[in-house]
Amino acid sequence: MAVSRRRDGIYGYVEIDNPPVNAIGQEIRQGLLDAVDWAEAEGLERVILSGKGRALAAGADTREFDAEPPPPHLPEVANRIEKSPVAWIAAIHGFALGGGAELVLACRYRIARPDAMIGLPEVNLGVIPGAGGTQRLPRLVGMEKALELIPTGKPVSGVEAKAIGLVDELDDDPVGYAEMVNTEWLGMAVPVGELNSGAAEPEDFAKARRAAENRMRGQVAPLKAIELLELAQTASLEDGMRAEREAFVELRKSEQARALRHIFFAERGARAPDWLTAEPAKVEHVAVVGGGTMGAGIAYALVNAGQAVTLLETDADGVERARGNVGKIIDSSLKRGFIDDDGAAARRGRLTVSSDYGAAADADLAIEAAFESMEVKAEVFGRLQSVIRADAVLATNTSYLDVDEIAGTLADPSRLVGLHFFAPAHIMKLLEIVRGKASSERALATGFALAKRLRKIPVLAGVCDGFIGNRILSRYREAADTVLMDGSTPWDIDEAMVEFGYAMGIYETQDLSGLDIAHANRRRQDATRDPNRRYIPIGDRMVAEGRLGRKAGVGWYRYPGGGGKVVDPLIEDLVREEAHFAKVARREFSADEIRHRLLLAMVNEATAILGEGIAQTARDIDLVTVNGYGFPRWRGGLMHYADTLGAATVLEGLEGLAKEDALVWAPSPVVRDCAEKGISFSAWRR
């Protein structure tokens, strides 16, 4: 790892070399500073700055952020580059993000490959650009564009960068082009820091604030970035950068930034566990059974990743519907510019839809996404195993059914693995890979390899009712229903959790997915439910009254004319009536109390999942809750959040609630263990 430099005549070449993405740590900063001195001492005319490997630079090395990054600091490096009498030219390929983009802004001239990605994504890590980004970008591209880019963290392609004036030229060989830049032009180029910052109307800043509050609710960094952009209108570069640095340093230490870094690195580290060394099946052709919403989404995700897919349905009507479902996703991807006409045609070309299972005979993997019924699953797998190659891996997308029971219907149960996708399957990043008792390592490894190919975040889960995510969700619902019965309303409960950072509350979410799904699950669980456990029948009553959610126009809320939700006072009557039947004396719950109960319920269930080995680590639970269940990303996931409370506080809270209902609130052994040992949940191991 280093910054290499080389002289050729009056040109200097400085290259950042820190694989895999040229993150800018202390050594790189020092190397760049030394290169500035070197170029000046050598009397060079220009320095061409580039990166080795995949990128110019992906930004500051965020692994340094847990402590005070050692000097020299990046603002000093950027300022020295900008002020140097030697003209620095940025030759950008791959990424120039964060601190990488700030180096680019400090250069006198900028050349990018058309497919480069340039941006200031710091807000996604809970910080703001800390090396002049908020002060130089508006000077170069204007305040309006800067307001669009920095608070959202959105990068732009080389082509877009040229269009907005962020780079001067596009070329497939930016270093070669930099050698050709006319010396006179270079001499005339004004350093970005000396340009006028441009201005925007107060209403533009207000609009940006509203957008940030909507898109990244609860997060501090986007609002701080807007404040600094506003300052750039009036402050000198020096003053603006001083304020920016202070804000950056403060945010870097904040709980939000810590949480966002945690989840960033957790996502990068999501891969097969070390013990899983089996060779995955080579997958080129996948059969997907069931062309409903889930199956169609899975099929699209697969063709999108270059796989040949045979989508199987039961009859001609089903085939037509399934083709239509995938077609709709292709059309919408086309319309939204994610793919072009050729891409759409290629995806259609990779898809076969059929009611003949024989069409799947040579598939390497089959994923069942049929109706959630054991009989249906058994029939599907029976048909599959009679036609498909003996070495093909079989997978079920079941959300709740027992994977071991499904495996038991197969001649060779070791072929089966659970691949639990989340709807819409072509968008949602999470993939729970469910390990049945008999699942072979090859089948599991195939699941992880597929996740990588689909660019999904894989999490290994054991078999239980709901695996990791849905099991926590069930407990969340149960706790919410109890608060509802005992005195609250769906909207107060939803609002409390939205304030916590969820995009949507549990009742609105249920309205969206349909109340019949949870109802069917409750019926399935009837046989095994502990008869001593308190049961809240309000959801059943809702279903009995046809209040199935959005699709019925009425659920926990009302949706007049198919539009947005409105509070429905009839629900209050319905709940009061149920409470009366159950002889419950209702009382008020504050938003804090609601959050306390719902969050502790989830944390307790999650720690039980950890203790039973259903999840391997607390980090895996964070990945599941953030990427599949809307837990606020900036809180780092459920277990990261629980660690900010501390195990002792969690235990105390649960013991308090257990006085009300000892069965439901009994602290899990992991909570007790962590509290006794004084360790975090993330440090706990079986």
| Contacts to ligand 3HC by CB under 6 A | 20-21, 23, 58-63, 74, 95, 97-99, 102, 121-122, 124-125, 127, 129-131, 133, 265, 268-269
H/E run at residue 380: helix 374-387
Beta carbon of residue 307, minimum distance to ligand 3HC (angstroms, whole number): 20
Residue 462's nearest CA partner among 437, 489, 445, 426 is: 437
Beta carbon of residue 269, minimum distance to ligand 3HC (angstroms, whole number): 6
CB nearer to ligand 3HC: pick between 107 and 664? 107
Scanning the structure block, which residue is given the tokens 């701080």? 224
Beta carbon of residue 24, minimum distance to ligand 3HC (angstroms, whole number): 7
Residue 122 appears among annotated catalytic residues: yes
Beta carbon of residue 126, minimum distance to ligand 3HC (angstroms, whole number): 10
CB nearer to ligand 3HC: pick between 260 and 670? 260
C-alpha–C-alpha distance, residues 130 and 233, integer Å:
17
Beta-bridge partner residues of 51: 16
Structure token digits, residue 577: 């009536």
Choose the catalytic residue: 15, 82, 102, 508: 102
Q: What share of residues in the chain are helix, strand, coil (percent, to 5)? A: 50, 15, 35
H/E run at residue 58: none
Contact yes or no for 425/485 (Cβ under 8 A)? no
Structure token digits, residue 235: 């402050």
CA 316 to chain centre: 38
Beta carbon of residue 55, minimum distance to ligand 3HC (angstroms, whole number): 7
Contact yes or no for 178/91 (Cβ under 8 A)? yes
The strand ranges marked E within 27-116 are: 46-51, 87-92, 95-97, 109-112
Beta carbon of residue 256, minimum distance to ligand 3HC (angstroms, whole number): 14
Choose the catalytic residue: 122, 244, 313, 605: 122
For the chain, how many helices (H) and strands (E)? Answer: 29, 17
Scanning the structure block, which residue is given the tokens 């058994």? 378
Residue 265: how many other CB atoms lie within 10 Å: 13
C-alpha–C-alpha distance, residues 109 and 91, integer Å:
9
CB nearer to ligand 3HC: pick between 261 and 522? 261
Structure token digits, residue 222: 């986007």
C-alpha–C-alpha distance, residues 599 and 601, integer Å:
5
Beta carbon of residue 60, minimum distance to ligand 3HC (angstroms, whole number): 3
Q: Which residue is nearest to ligand 3HC (CB)?
A: 98
The DSSP output letter for 667 is P
CB nearer to ligand 3HC: pick between 23 and 403? 23
Residue 670's nearest CA partner among 620, 624, 605, 590 is: 605
Residue 424's nearest CA partner among 322, 520, 329 is: 329
Beta carbon of residue 622, minimum distance to ligand 3HC (angstroms, whole number): 16
CB nearer to ligand 3HC: pick between 269 and 563? 269
Residue 183's nearest CA partner among 119, 109, 255 is: 109
CB nearer to ligand 3HC: pick between 124 and 152? 124
CB nearer to ligand 3HC: pick between 221 and 600? 221
CB nearer to ligand 3HC: pick between 272 and 542? 272
Backbone angles phi, psi at 95, to 5 degrees: -100, 145
Catalytic site positions: 102, 122
